[in-house]
Structures are given as C-alpha cells and as structure tokens.
Structure 1
Amino acid sequence: MIRVTADCPFVDYEMASGIVDFIKQQQVDIVDLGATLPRGLAVEAISYSALQYIDQHGQEPRHREHVTYYAYEYKDQFTRATYQPPKNRLHPELRITLDTEEDYTMLAAVAQHFNDPYIPSSEVIKYLLEHPEIAALNAHVEQKPVI
C-alpha cells in the first residue's frame, strides 16, 4: 500500500513508483526513507498486514489520526528496509505542503507557474530553489507536533 496525504498536492509519483518496486523486491512491512525530504513530498509504503496489525494495536488518538505513526513509534514490531531517495529530492529546507495560508500562497504560485497537474516533484524543487522568493513565502512556518 502507498500512503500519500491530501495536504500534499505535488505527490512525488516518480519516487512512489520506485518505492513500490523497492517494497516488492524487499518484501518488508514498511519502507523507511533514508533521507529527509521537503515537507510534503514523503511517500510511504506499508504492507497490508502491517496496516491490519496497526489497526488492532494502535489505539491512541495519534495512531488513529496518523495511520502509520504506530509503525514509527514501535519500529521493532515490523520488518523494514531503507529506500534512498534521489539526490535531487534532498532539500528538507523546503515546505511543499498545505497547512496554512502561507502554504497556500506558495503552492498557488507554484501551480500557476507550471499550470500542469502532473508536474514532477523534482521540477517543483528546482523551481523553488531557482526562485527563493517563492520558497520564502512559507519558509517560516513550523510544523505542528504530533500529540
């Protein structure tokens, strides 16, 4: 199973395809990312059996709201493999998600520039790096913690 969230409009479909191939080869419960990506580009791969286990055991509110959080909190209960994202995705300073008005302003500027719903995430990153004034629109936003 692949998990992406609705507040991340520029889904990295290229990396998601690579992760699907990776989890099939590794035959593990969950794929960890071996690097920090921009907030909003992470793609998660988790087995159906792991999701069933989480449903039965993850009863805290944070486990119900964030479907895979239990698997990160209790790592030893799942088999795992680490996927190394492409180097051009390794820009954790960027925020490409929609939680605030500032996020919306930045994302709208990116969407308007490309005017294409299928733009690769690598192109979004490249654009933001080349246009720091656009990336700065939401750079100050701090992610709220999981409680």
Structure 2
Amino acid sequence: MKIGIVTQVRVTSSRLPAKVLLTAGGQSFLEHHLDRLGQTGLPVVVATTTNYHDDVILEVAKHAGVPVYRGSEDDVLSRFAGAAREHELDGLVRVTSDCPLIDPAIISAAVDRWRSEKDLDLYISNCLERTYPRGMDYEVFSAKRLYDAEAHATLPADREHVTPYLHQNRSGEIRLLNLPWAGGGASYRLCLDTPDDWKLLDALFEEHDATSLNCAELVEILDTHPELATLNAHIEQKKLGE
C-alpha cells in the first residue's frame, strides 16, 4: 500500500501573503517544512494551484526534489484527489505548508498506526481534540475515502478545507480516531499565519536552533521562555469557512 504526504501550498494567503517564502534560519519556511516531511521517508507531493502567482512554488519544490501537482485554487478537495490519482496513492497524510516545525516522528507514528489498523474507512488525526501545539497537525485517510468525498461533498467549506466531509462523518461510514499527546503545549502556535507567528518562528530558528528540535523540545522552550509564547498568544485561529 502506497502512502504519501500531500501538503497544500499557495502564496496568496490573506493574513500574511507569500508567508511560506519568508525566511528564517537560512531557508524559506516552505523549505523547512519540506525538509521535515522528507525525514519521514514517505513520498511527499506539493499540491499547489494553477494560479501564476504559485509558479514560484515549483522552483522551491524542484530544489527540494519534491514533485508538484497543480489544481484548483478554491476547490482544494479536488486538488488533493488529483494529486492522489497522479501519484497512485492508496493512503494520504494531509498537512499544510504553514507548519515549518511539524515533527516527522509524529507523522510516522500516525502512519504506522493507520497501516496496522488495515481499515480503509479509518480517519486518524491529532487535532479532532487539541492536545498538540498548532503546527503539528496531520490527518491520515485512504484515497478511497478521499474520492468518495470528492464525489459527494457539496458545501463550499467541504471543497475548500478538504476533509470536513470525512471528519464530520457525513457519509456515516468513517471510523474516527484521535491520537492525543500528553506533552502539553496545546495553547501554543507553531504555525505561520500572521506577522506575530513569524516573529515567534524567527526567534525559534535564529535563537534556539529550531531546525533540529522535535515537538517536545519546542514545547519545553516555550514553557521555559513565556515571553516567546506571548508573541502570538493573542492570535485567533481562523474558523472553518472563513
């Protein structure tokens, strides 16, 4: 069974345009993100748009040795399905490119669990209930369920956010499994969506060598340096459909 990581990327983000191309620690945030995904040993696919603004994404991905699939800017569900078909994936890990510090070991453990269950109707995530910092989020599901969602999901939020049809079990056929973490830090933001998120990530890369740190080590730094955590503690996560 071929399982691959598909990460969605575009430069026309509303709150911080071209955020994944900003740099810290000598690399763009997208490069950090792809480096970490590559450490899982799984195939990685960048799913970007046909918008000419995203042409630059191809160059970053090419330099990283990661293939690119281009699809609809708004119908991200169809973009993921297209990437899965083109790369003949049986299972997918969905992540987003605004997570430059995502922990590859966490993804690998989730994939191992999904494989062991041998259930194509199983959806695994670590954010059905928030126990990890934002920026460590993943979802694992079968191509079979993705294609079913592509065929039957009709709400605009379903098409834009890829997986609501799955994790809300709209088909009535999905088995949901949340993999929690007891390491703390659920209130922390290690994702990149606003200028204040950028400030925190820049400090972690430039002052604390975040390139080499896992999730537990990052949480420990923020626990030890609350002045860092306060840099973006006020940011409200965008709601589904916003």
2:167–2:176 contact (8 Å) kept in structure 1 = no
Shift in Å, 1:121: 1.9
Q: For 1:96 and 1:22, how far apart are their aligned partners in 2?
A: 24
Q: Sequence identity of aligned pairs in percent?
A: 30
* 2:51 maps to 1:51: no
Q: How does 1:2-17 map to 2 (within 5 A)?
A: 2-17=93-108
Partner SS, residue 109 of structure 1? helix
Are 1:38 and 1:96, in contact at CA under 8 Å, matched by a contact in 2? yes
2:200 and 2:231 in contact (8 A); partners too: yes
Q: 1:39 aligns with which of 112, 119, 134?
A: 134
Task: Tell me if the contact between 2:125 and 2:138 (Cα under 8 Å) persists in the aligned partners.
Answer: no
| Structure index of larger Rg | 2
Structure of greater relative contact order (alpha carbons < 8 Å, 6+ residues apart):
1
* Counterpart residue number, 1:65: 160
Greater share of residues in strand: 2
Q: Label 1:145 to 1:133 Cα distance change in 2 as closer, same or farther (>3 A).
A: same
2:179 paired residue among 83, 93, 97: 83
Match of 1:130 among 219, 224, 233: 224
CA deviations 1:95-124 (Å, max 9, x no partner) are 111111001111111111233534212211
Conserved 8 A contact 1:31-1:44 = yes
Structure 1 or 2: larger helix share? Answer: 1
Flag the 1:9–1:107 CA change in 2: closer, same or farther, 3 A: same
Of 110, 133, 140, the residue aligned with 1:19 is 110
How far 1:135 moved relative to its partner? 0.7
Q: Please report the RMSD computed on the Cα atoms of aligned residues, expressed in angstroms.
A: 1.8
Structure 2 Cα separation of the partners of residues 72 and 93 of structure 1: 22
Residue 141 (structure 1) aligned with residue 235 (structure 2): yes
**Cα separation, 2, equivalents of 1:131 and 1:110:** 11
Write the letter of the residue equivalent to 1:113.
E
Distance 1:57 1:117 in 2: 40
3-state SS in 2 of match to 1:39: coil
1:106 and 2:212 aligned = no
After superposing the two structures, state which structure 1 stretch, 23-32 or 91-100, moved more: 23-32
- Structure 1 moving runs of 4+ over 6 Å: none
What residue ranges of structure 1 are gaps of 5+ in the alignment?
none
Q: CA deviation at 1:63?
A: 1.5
TM-score by length of 2: 0.55
